[in-house]
Structure 1
Amino acid sequence: DWVKQKQRFPQFSSPEPAYHGVVYTDAFGPAAFIARVRTVALRNTGACLSPFNAFLLLQGLETLPLRIERHCENALKVAEYLQSHPSVDWVNFAALPEHTNYERAKKYIKNGVPASLLTFGVKGGYDAGVAFYDKLKLFKRLVNIGDAKSLACHPASTTHRQLSAEEQAAVGVKPEAIRLCVGIENAEDIIADISQALV
């Protein structure tokens, strides 16, 4: 009885912030446990794979090293391009010499490029970030990372839009910030898409 044991199992009887404050015992009664497992644990761990999905993951692992090399090469080119663009306020990528973790990246990561994930700020704040995001053509507007294709996210208007401006600032979400997960497409095509969206 999750309700009677509130002190012992607060995750079922307290509001869940990740799901708009739902209280599992109120919403699902005796099924509170399984509802939380399905909404939180499976979402966070991806632990419920079908056999075909497992097969696809194994297939993808065979070419992972080659894809990661291309991801990282492309991400560095994109970061360097963004750094020199007049419409970009800042770029956060550890493979750039100005980054606080640049020396660590050089020391611990092959070729000094730690990943294909980077963030940058569009001059003009929130509206400029939304405008850039809406103009993308090659980039897919998705919040996941690690795909073969290039992905983009404007957190202030998507993943964190339910938070107030103060709450966004408290968790490090800047109104102008764009998150890119650079894919394995041709680097010139990726940069051309960014270029047309920054105009």
Structure 2
Amino acid sequence: MNGRASSIFSFGIQGGIAADTKIIDALQLAVRLVNIGDAKTLACHPATTTHRQLNPEEMERAGVSADLVRLSVGLKHIDDILADIDQALASATMPTLMTFCRKLRGT
């Protein structure tokens, strides 16, 4: 990575855990794993994975909400990563985030 760190994006999905699961399941390029900072693009739902042992108050203090998705961007071409996110969001009918991804891609 030429001394550069990968990026981690955290965002919430309206619709909570059900919507998060649908989007993460629809990703084709990104892998569902709980570790971050890999060469692969990874997606995880912290409330049901890395932070599942916390009670609601502890989750809130940790900044983890039920609708939070973390996406660790890997080394694949950004257009491929954004296309994967775009199709996953489309499968969950999330037009606002789809528009955001398209703006990032310049399409």
Aligned partners of 2:17, 2:55: CA distance in 1, in Å? Answer: 13
Q: What residue is the counterpart of 1:182 in the other structure?
A: 73
Question: Any unmatched runs of 5+ in structure 1?
Answer: 1-63, 72-114
Q: Which has the higher helix share?
A: 1
Aligned partners of 2:67, 2:8: CA distance in 1, in Å? Answer: 17
Percent identity over paired residues: 51
Aligned partners of 1:158, 1:122: CA distance in 2, in Å? Answer: 17
Matching of residue 116 in structure 1 with residue 53 in structure 2: no
Which of 138, 141, 146 does residue 37 from structure 2 map onto?
A: 146
Q: How does 1:24-39 map to 2 (within 5 A)?
A: none
Aligned partners of 1:127, 1:165: CA distance in 2, in Å? Answer: 18
Larger Cα-atom Rg: 1
Aligned partners of 1:185, 1:193: CA distance in 2, in Å? Answer: 11
Change (3 A) 1:173 1:197: same
After TM superposition, the runs of 4+ consecutive aligned structure 1 residues lying more than 6 A away are none
Matching of residue 131 in structure 1 with residue 22 in structure 2: yes
Aligned partners of 2:47, 2:82: CA distance in 1, in Å? Answer: 23
Which of 54, 64, 84 does residue 193 from structure 1 map onto?
A: 84
Aligned partners of 1:162, 1:146: CA distance in 2, in Å? Answer: 22
Could you give the per-residue CA deviations for residues 123-145 of structure 1, whole angstroms, max 9, x where no partner exists?
22222112212222111111222
Tell me how many residue pairs correspond in the alignment. 90
Q: What residue is the counterpart of 1:159 in the other structure?
A: 50
Give the TM-score, by structure 1 length: 0.41
1:130–1:157: 8 Å Cα contact kept in structure 2?
no
Aligned partners of 1:134, 1:164: CA distance in 2, in Å? Answer: 25
Structure 1 residue 162: deviation in Å?
Answer: 2.5
- RMSD, aligned CA: 1.9
1:154–1:177: 8 Å Cα contact kept in structure 2?
yes
Q: What residue is the counterpart of 2:61 in the other structure?
A: 170
